[in-house]
Amino acid sequence: MPSEAPALYQHHGHGPVADRQDGAHAHWVGFDAHGRLYVTDLGTDQILLFEDGDKSLSVPRIAYVAPPGSGPRQIAFHPSLPIAYLVSELAVSLTVLDVAEDGTLSERCVTSTLPPGVERGETLGGAILLHADRVHVSNRGHDSIATFAIDDAGDVRLLAVHDSGGRSPRFLLIDDGRLLVAHEEAGGVTMLPLDRDGVPCAVDGRVDVPGPAFLGVLP
């Protein structure tokens, strides 16, 4: 049992998209390599930062203010460069962010996660997965996986957008050379082998699971 009571921080605010941003909406939390805790707030278009060792969750700093209505959803940190990759749910985009020494994030570039020429429509950005020199992002509604190459500077280039094999791909995991995709609405996990370029191929396996939202590998 924990020896201390859990800490609680309640953020406040809203964004311009009335039906999705009527209040603060912490969608993801995670640590960087320096032990700093980041929180993506989809409802306020902000990324919050709690300093290393701040176990009391005192008032955070605003590490990044996203474009209004973009809905920041989830971050993946580069393993060796001071760079973070952000998927935004409402904008359906991938943002490359430079990470300053104090943890502040600044926008380097933004790119759509949909194929060129495809309108956003009802599509929502989903999961992000950084694996080696590739970034995979899921598109819910378009029901696809966008794969980007990462160059030596940390910049990205779209390689392919592939059918995810189900409806509403919410979580991604790579295991044994295959991309596993959890489809929350379709109720199943699809398995897509990766080719030599790290791009998903056609589905070669499927497991029926009701409403999967997360995947993990047992040690």
Q: Is the confidence at residue 1, as pLDDT, over 60?
A: no
Q: What is the pLDDT of residues 97-123, one digit of tens each?
A: 999 999 999 999 999 999 999 999 999
Q: Is the confidence at residue 156, as pLDDT, over 80?
A: yes
The band of 4, judged by pLDDT with boundaries at 50, 70 and 90, is confident
Q: Is the confidence at residue 179, as pLDDT, over 70?
A: yes
- Lowest-confidence segment of 12-26, 50-64, 135-149 by average pLDDT: 50-64
Q: What is the pLDDT of residues 164-175, one digit of tens each?
A: 999 999 999 999
Q: Give the mean model confidence (pLDDT) for residues 12-37.
A: 95
Q: Is the confidence at residue 2, as pLDDT, over 70?
A: no
Instruction: Provide the token pair at 79.
Output: 């393993």
Express as a percent the part of the chain with pLDDT over 70: 98
Identify the pLDDT of residue 117.
Answer: 93
The band of 3, judged by pLDDT with boundaries at 50, 70 and 90, is low
CA gap 122, 198 in Å, rounded: 28
The band of 218, judged by pLDDT with boundaries at 50, 70 and 90, is confident
**What b/e string do you get for 142-167 counting C-beta neighbours within 10 Å, with b at 16 or more?**
bbbbbbbbbeeebebebbbbbebbbe
Give the length of the chain: 219
Q: What is the pLDDT of residues 123-151, one digit of tens each?
A: 999 999 999 999 999 999 999 999 999 99
CA gap 58, 39 in Å, rounded: 13
Integer CA distances (angstroms), 132 to 50, 156, 167, 196, in order: 27, 13, 26, 12
Identify the pLDDT of residue 137.
Answer: 99
> H-helix or E-strand containing 121?
none
Residues 6+ apart with CB under 8 A from 121: 141, 142
Q: What is the pLDDT of residues 78-103, one digit of tens each?
A: 999 999 999 999 999 999 999 999 99
Identify the pLDDT of residue 174.
Answer: 98
Q: Are 92 and 123 in contact (CB under 8 A)?
A: yes
What count of other Cβ atoms lies within 10 Å of the Cβ of residue 93? 22
Q: Kindly report the average pLDDT of the chain as a whole number.
A: 95
CA gap 134, 6 in Å, rounded: 36
Q: Identity (one letter) of the amino acid at 8?
A: L
Integer CA distances (angstroms), 56 to 15, 33, 37, 50, in order: 27, 20, 12, 10
